[in-house]
Amino acid sequence: MKDKRGSDKGTTNKEQILARVRNAIIEKPEAMFKDIDLKTDTWKPIKEEDGNAITFVQKYKDMGGIFIYLESEEELGECMRQLAPQNGWEPLWCSHPAMQELLGKYGIQYTEEATRTEGKKLVSFMKCEYLVAQTGSIILTDEGLSSRKSYTEADVLLILAHTDQIVSALKDALHEMKSEFGEQRASQAVIMTGLTRTYDIEQDLVQGVHGPRQIAVFLIDD
């Protein structure tokens, strides 16, 4: 029996609430946004004259990244032999066997364990999976990382990449990763887009408060 207001007499508030919950489950609500286009790319198309490589560099540098272009692996070795001692980076923190082999090949000091000393930056050397032109992002997977600590605890990240790893959009990178790894999917994938950003109480922008304070990409032209 219902009163003039349409409520059920003789039922408790709890029973009324449960009845409404059951009705909400049974009755499917009308879709509020029927015409959303989930397929069309919302990003501005990359300029044909710039291409993926130039677009990535521009976006990446806009996010505060350091970019170094190299023509060969040998040039990378020479560059690192100069930069590492000049900046006090040695020994580099590198836990991936292939990257350790590369550093050893050019006589660059490294350590497998993170050794943080007072007054000295902890510098991690690693390789990436893809570079995303539209956003200036770097994608890391466990293919190039042996531990999450290598990018979360380091003060400086030195990331090795090749020009054939640059893709136009994130969806392209995910598609390539799916094709590359197949059933053996990476256990972790990290998308890094510049340094962390926050505003202090006076609304001044502060970068690198959490995570690395500097990110440098060494790009070898294939």
Tens digits of residue pLDDT in 115-134: 777 778 899 999 999 999 99
Give all domains of the chain, ordered by start, each with its CATH number: 51-220 (3.40.50.10420)
Tens digits of residue pLDDT in 67-103: 999 999 999 999 999 999 999 898 999 988 889 999 9
Q: How far apart are the first and last CA of the chain?
A: 80
Handedness of CA 148, 87, 65, 77 (dihedral sign): negative
Q: What is the pLDDT of residue 118?
A: 78
Whether the pLDDT of residue 36 is over 80: the answer is no
Taking the C-alpha atoms of residue 205 and residue 195, their distance in angstroms, rounded to an integer, is 12
Whether the pLDDT of residue 56 is over 50: the answer is yes
Taking the C-alpha atoms of residue 94 and residue 144, their distance in angstroms, rounded to an integer, is 10
Choice between 143 and 189, residue whose per-residue pLDDT is larger: 189
Choice between 222 and 18, residue whose per-residue pLDDT is larger: 18
Tokens of 11: 């039922």
Choice between 158 and 33, residue whose per-residue pLDDT is larger: 158
66 Ramachandran zone, left/alpha/beta (phi>0; psi -120 to 50): beta
Place 1 in a pLDDT band, splitting at 50, 70 and 90: very low
Whether the pLDDT of residue 31 is over 90: the answer is no
pTM over 0.85: no
Tens digits of residue pLDDT in 155-213: 999 999 999 999 999 989 988 888 877 666 667 788 999 877 666 666 666 665 667 88
Taking the C-alpha atoms of residue 80 and residue 86, their distance in angstroms, rounded to an integer, is 10
Whether the pLDDT of residue 8 is over 60: the answer is no
Place 4 in a pLDDT band, splitting at 50, 70 and 90: very low
Taking the C-alpha atoms of residue 138 and residue 35, their distance in angstroms, rounded to an integer, is 33
